Amino acid sequence: MTPAIEGRPALRVYWQPGCTSCLRAKEFLEANNIPFVSINVRSSETAAAELAELGLRTVPVVARGRDYVLAQDIDELAHFVGMAVSRTRLAPDELVARLQVLLAANESFLAAMPPERLHDSLPQRERTWLDLGFHVAMIVQGLMTAGAGGELTYEIYERRAPRSWRTAAPAIEFSQATRRGLTSWWAEACRRPDAPVRTYFGQRPLDSVLERSAWHVAQHCRQLDYLVHEVANVADSPRLPPGVLQGLPVPEAVWDREVVPGDSSPIS
Going from N- to C-terminal start, the domains of the chain cover: 11-80, 92-231
Residue 112 region by backbone torsions, left for phi larger than 0, else alpha for psi between -120 and 50, else beta: alpha
- Tell me which long-range contacts 163-170 makes (C-beta under 8 A, separation of at least 24): 165/130, 165/134, 166/118, 167/115, 167/118, 168/110, 168/111, 168/113, 168/115, 168/118, 168/130, 168/133
Return mean pLDDT, the chain: 92
The per-residue pLDDT for 125 is: 86
Do residues 170 and 181 touch, judged by C-beta distance below 8 A?
no
- The CATH H-level (homologous superfamily) assignment of domain 11-80 is Glutaredoxin (3.40.30.10)
Query: How is the chain split among helix, strand and coil, in percent rounded to 5?
Result: 45, 10, 45
Rounded distance between C-alpha atoms, residue 255 and residue 259, angstroms: 7
DSSP 230: I
Q: Are 142 and 156 in contact (CB under 8 A)?
A: yes
Question: What is the predicted pLDDT for the residue at 211?
Answer: 96
Q: How far is CA 84 from CA 67, 91, 96, 153, in A?
A: 19, 21, 27, 28
Give the pLDDT score at 4: 42
Below-70 pLDDT ranges, the chain: 1-9, 263-268
Taking the C-alpha atoms of residue 152 and residue 197, their distance in angstroms, rounded to an integer, is: 8
Strand partners, 39: 14
What is the Cα–Cα distance from 217 to 234, expressed in whole angstroms?
22
At 91 the pLDDT is 97
pLDDT at 190: 97
CATH placement of domain 92-231: 1.20.120.450
The whole-number pLDDT of residue 8 equals 53
Q: Which helix (H) or strand (E) holds 52?
A: helix 47-53
Give the closest residue to 175 by CA, choosing from 111, 128, 109, 106.
106
Find residue 36's DSSP bridge partners.
11
DSSP at 82:
T
Distance CA(21)–CA(13), nearest Å, equals 11
